[in-house]
Amino acid sequence: MKIIQGIQLYDIEVESNKDKADAIGIENFPCFIVMNDEKIVLKTTELSDVQAFFGQLVP
């Protein structure tokens, strides 16, 4: 497993950040998005959901 890219959209008052958030359907913050090489596989506002998701992948 490797990280290809991470982004932060902490300031949606910046137009380019707002465009990115709109493009992937982020409406609530904070938001965690996990993607594979094809699509979004998890979108959540809960860090515990991200931990559980990766916990299933890594023993």
pLDDT at 14: 83
> pTM of this prediction?
0.69
Answer whether residue 10 is part of any domain: no
Q: What is the pLDDT of residue 52?
A: 93
Domain assignment present for residue 21? The answer is yes
Quote the pLDDT of residue 5.
65
Q: Is residue 2 part of a domain?
A: no
- Name the residue range of residue 20's domain: 15-57
Query: Residue 38 falls within a domain, yes or no?
Result: yes
Q: What's the confidence (pLDDT) of residue 46? A: 92
40 within some domain: yes
- The reported pLDDT for the residue numbered 31 is 87
Our count of domains for the chain comes to 1
Which segments of 1-59 are extended strands (E)? 32-35, 40-44
| Binned average pLDDT, 10 residues per bin, the chain of 59 residues | 68 83 86 87 91 86
